[in-house]
Amino acid sequence: MKLFTIFGNPVSHSKSPRMYNKCFKFYGLNNYCYTKTLLEDGEKIIDVFKKLKISGASVTVPHKEWAYRLADEVRGIANDIKAVNCLVLENDKVVGYNTDAEGFMESIKYFNYKSVLIIGAGGTAKALSKMFKNPIILNRSAGRLKDFKEYKNFTWGNFEIKKYDLIINTTSAGLNDDNLPAPKTVLEKLFKNAKYAVDVIYHETPFQKMAKEYGLKLKDGSDMLVFQGVLQFEKFVDFKINRDEVAKLMKEAVEL
C-alpha cells in the first residue's frame, strides 16, 4: 500500500482525498490511498511524513514554510518562493516542490488585467507574487511583509487605496469563520474599481459574496486546486499522464 495525504490545520474541509483517490482508481492504482492528516505543529511535518511511511503529500496552510525549511531537498520555483505545497519520497529523500503558482496562473489565463493586489503574506502569496509584474501586497501586520521587500507592500494602517484590476485573497479569512481578509471599508473601495476577484478558498466566503455584490468576475479556489493538483498527481505517480484527463476527473470530484 502506498499512502498519500494532505497536511494542514484545519484540514477537515479538504476535497483532496476525493480528487486523488478518483484518479488513482481511474489509473488502476488500487494500492494507492490518499487521506487527510491534521497537523498542529508544522515543525513535525517531515517527522510525521517519515513515521507514517507516506509516499507523497500535499501541504496546505499554515505549513508550507515549514515544509520548505525541513524537506531533505527542495526543487524548482519552491526555492524562490521559499514555500512547499508538495512533498514526494524519492530515493529515501523527502523532496519539496511548489505547484501553487503554475496552477493559479492556469486558472486565470483568460483574465485581462494590468494591476494586481495580493491580500496576505503567507506561502501562497509568496508563490503568486513571483508570477506577476509589480504586484502590490497588503497584509494585516508588518511582520511577514519583510519577505516582500522587492514589491510595494502595505499594512491595513498605511495602505494607499488605488485602482487594481485583479484582487486576490490568499489568506484563510472565511475558511472556517465569517471574517474578511481586510477591513470592509477598504474592500468596498477596492471592489468599486476592480474587474476581477480571486479567492484561494474554494467554498463561498464573505470576500466572495462582496465581490459578487459589486459585479466583479469571480473565481474561487476550485480551478487552482484542480490545476495544482494535476501537477502534484503527476509527481506522485511518476509516469506520464494526460493532464486534461486528470483535470476533468479532479473537477468532477470537487463538484460532488
Catalytic positions: 64
3-state secondary structure the chain: CEEEEEEECCCCCCCHHHHHHHHHHHCCCCCEEEEEEECCCHHHHHHHHHHCCEEEEEECCCCHHHHHHHCCEECCCHHHHCCCCEEEEECCEEEEECCHHHHHHHHCCCCCCCCEEEECCCHHHHHHHCCCCCCEEEECCCHHHHHHCCCCEEECCCCCCCCCCEEEECCCCCCCCCCCCCCHHHHHHHHHHCCEEEECCCCCCHHHHHHHHCCCEEECCHHHHHHHHHHHHHHHHCCCCCHHHHHHHHHHHHHC
